[in-house]
Amino acid sequence: MSNRTGCLITFEGPEGSGKSTLIKSIASVLLDIGAEIIEVREPGGTPVGEKIRDVLLDKELPELCAKTELLLMVASRAQLVQETLQPALAGGKIILCDRYAESSEAYQGGGRELGTAKVREMNSYAIGDVIPDVTFLCMVPPEIGRQRTSSRELDRMELESIAFHDRVYKAYCDMADSGEKRFVVIDASKTPEEMMSSAFEHLKKMEHQLLKLL
Ligand code: TYD
């Protein structure tokens, strides 16, 4: 995108990684300094995407096959990119996105064993050059994540086997070890305050004018 003046920040991690709390805290500080922000989630984030999300997370639909699941995740993403992310980036906004392309790599590529190469190809088709400026990988071992989510009602993905969630975690570990510059690993076994302060260290160094004020 040649007219990109905004900034795309994505948050990734296995179940129970504390992403949502981290996003809320960052959003609140950014609003305090007068930033124009947009918060979105995946799957979902648009009217079409939210309908797709309902199908994807419906635990009454255990028969949804892995390829269909991947295609629906990517379809929701394509809609989000065109309807929301591209205009927001052109308008100088800071976007906080709860899950994005790397979730498909971890869950469908790793968890469902569809493979990284195929998922990357599909992601690339959906997002084009709308690549995040920074991707926070909130890393927490599956057993701790499970304890954190045990008290709530679980959706179709959360109800998957321990082996599935172990593969998801392994895929995120591979990303964390990949050396990709935009990946920033956050130790999600720490407290929310500690997670927030490590995220801020990185945000302050970013190009966007407002983030320098943090
Ligand atoms: P959500 O309730 O938003 O969970 P979380 O708080 O963990 O982000 O549910 C989204 C679920 O969808 C979550 O289990 C991860 C999964 N998911 C995929 O499997 N692939 C994807 O590409 C995305 C975006 C999410």
Q: Is residue 154 part of a domain?
A: yes
Q: Which of 41-45, 113-117, 155-159, 193-197 has the lowest mean pLDDT?
A: 155-159
Tell me the two tokens of residue 195: 């997670």
pLDDT, tens digit (0-9, with 9 covering 90-100), for 97-145: 999 999 999 999 999 999 999 999 999 999 999 999 999 999 999 999 9
User: Which of 169, 97, 65 minimizes the C-alpha distance to 56?
Assistant: 65
b/e per residue 124-133 (b: at least 16 CB within 10 A): eebbeebebb
Q: Is residue 214 part of a domain?
A: no
In total, how many domains does the chain have? 1
Q: Is residue 211 part of a domain?
A: no
Q: Does position 183 have pLDDT exceeding 90, yes or no?
A: yes
Q: Write out the residue range of the structural domain in which residue 31 sits.
A: 7-205
Chain mean position to CA 209 = 23
Chain mean position to CA 181 = 17
Percent of the chain residues topping a pLDDT of 70? 97
Confidence of residue 152 (pLDDT cuts 50, 70, 90): confident
Q: Is residue 103 part of a domain?
A: yes
Q: Is residue 212 part of a domain?
A: no
Q: Is residue 2 part of a domain?
A: no
Burial class (CB in 10 A: 0-12, 13-18, 19+), 19: buried
Among 17, 107, 112, name the best residue to mutate to test ligand 1's pocket (greatest count of ligand atoms within 8 A of Cβ). Answer: 107
Which numbered atom of ligand 1 lies nearest the CA of 105?
22
pLDDT of residue 1: 73
Is ligand 1 within 6 A of the CB of residue 43? yes
Q: Is residue 163 part of a domain?
A: yes
Model pTM? 0.96
CATH (domain of 134) = 3.40.50.300
Residues 110, 168: contact at Cβ < 8 Å? yes
